[in-house]
Structure 1
């Protein structure tokens, strides 16, 4: 589904046009939110600190995501298989990835997923690399004209997408 679209229909592309179209609306919303005050009269703002992923084995899943993203292990959290959770730290100041154990297995499609954009490879090269790390193919939305994306799942079944790189969008 095209989240930036006012029609809420899947646009069939990698959404770059959606982001361009929504950039003005987003800028206006951020400007308005920046000056907004809570009921207590304090400025309202948040930062996404962690993206938390429920899983059966935090250490093993963190190893997969570390190899996928290049995020490093937190020096005090998640470095050992017997640790109760695992934390990967983003080197660029972005949100960290926190893996926490849950007793139940994943049974349905994610309600939230990550769209990943390769920085040093093409979408297709990155897809092959990630499949080699242990991901599985869920759906291939690549089109003959080069647009589209690939939906994969990590070793515990959590879906994520690989989009085209910036160079491929050129």
Structure 2
């Protein structure tokens, strides 16, 4: 068995997929377009893709599941700054004075996700 997609409910699947495409650097599927009720952000194998599905109701509660991301070519704080510039917002800041910790962000539809320290920061 393989994990094929991580599916996220959305009010505007194409707009949210476009945000996540910018976050990850992965492309939105070439068959998807604005107004589609299902939009896929295609990931490199074997990583599961991100599938955004239209739902009529807005998000009202905390996510039951969220994704933790680890930057590979920049620090945690540089990645947080990049994502804020793309439209994410800080939900909870768990950074500590000693450099440890993570940041919980919200995407444009208020889904939580975390940015952890990079491998270089963990080794250093």
Interval of TM-score (by shorter of Structure 1 and Structure 2): over 0.9
Higher strand share: 2
Length-normalised TM-score, structure 1: 0.71
1:159 corresponding residue in structure 2: 112
**Structure 2 unpaired stretches of 5+:** none
Question: Alignment partner for residue 67 of structure 1, among 16, 19, 22?
Answer: 22
Higher relative contact order (CA 8 A, sep 6+): 2
Unpaired runs of at least 5, structure 1: 1-45
Question: Offset at 1:153?
Answer: 0.4
Q: Is the 8 A contact 1:72 1:91 kept in 2?
A: no
- SS of the residue corresponding to residue 94 of structure 1 reads coil
Aligned residues: 123
Alignment of 1:112 with 2:112, yes or no, is no
Counterpart secondary structure, 1:72: coil
- Root mean square deviation, CA, Å: 0.8
Would you say the 8 A contact 1:86–1:100 is kept in 2? yes
Partners of 1:92 and 1:140 lie apart in 2 by: 31
Pick the structure with more helix per residue: 1
Q: Which has the larger radius of gyration?
A: 1
CA distance in 1 between counterparts of 2:30 and 2:70 reads 26
Cα distance per residue 1:8-48 (max 9 Å; x no partner) = xxxxxxxxxxxxxxxxxxxxxxxxxxxxxxxxxxxxxx211
Alpha-carbon separation, structure 2, partners of 1:93 and 1:75? 19
Q: d(CA) in 1 for partners of 2:34 and 2:28?
A: 12
